[in-house]
Amino acid sequence: MSTPRTAACVLCGRTASLRSVTAAIQLDCPDCGLYEMTVGAIGALRADAALKAAVRVEVKRQLDAGVERPTINIEVLQALKAR
């Protein structure tokens, strides 16, 4: 049996379980919840603390609305920046 992979949550930095899904990763963070993020979005978030905070709020909003695993991609980031 393989050991589960972990990584730092892109949004808050806590340890989260990690699963690769083609061009995206799925994170299960105890603080931020379950979400999926494309590789392009990860790169864009690394240098933008304000956008990272906005994404945390958006993930929580989508989870509260019943979305099982919100997907964060470049389009979502652009929409959040436009607000």
| SS3 of residue 26 by DSSP | strand
Say which residue the tokens 């864009």 belong to.
Answer: 44
| Arithmetic mean of pLDDT, 41-50 | 89
Query: Is 80 exceeded by the pLDDT of residue 71?
Result: yes
CB 31 within 8 A of CB 12: yes
| Higher-confidence position of 55 and 47 | 55
- pLDDT for the residue 39: 87
Which pLDDT belongs to residue 4? 73
The pTM assigned to this predicted structure is 0.75
Nearest to 67 by CA among 43, 20, 41, 34: 34
How confident is the model at residue 18, as a pLDDT? 77
pLDDT over 90 percentage in the chain: 59
Does an H or E element contain 71, and which?
A: strand 71-72
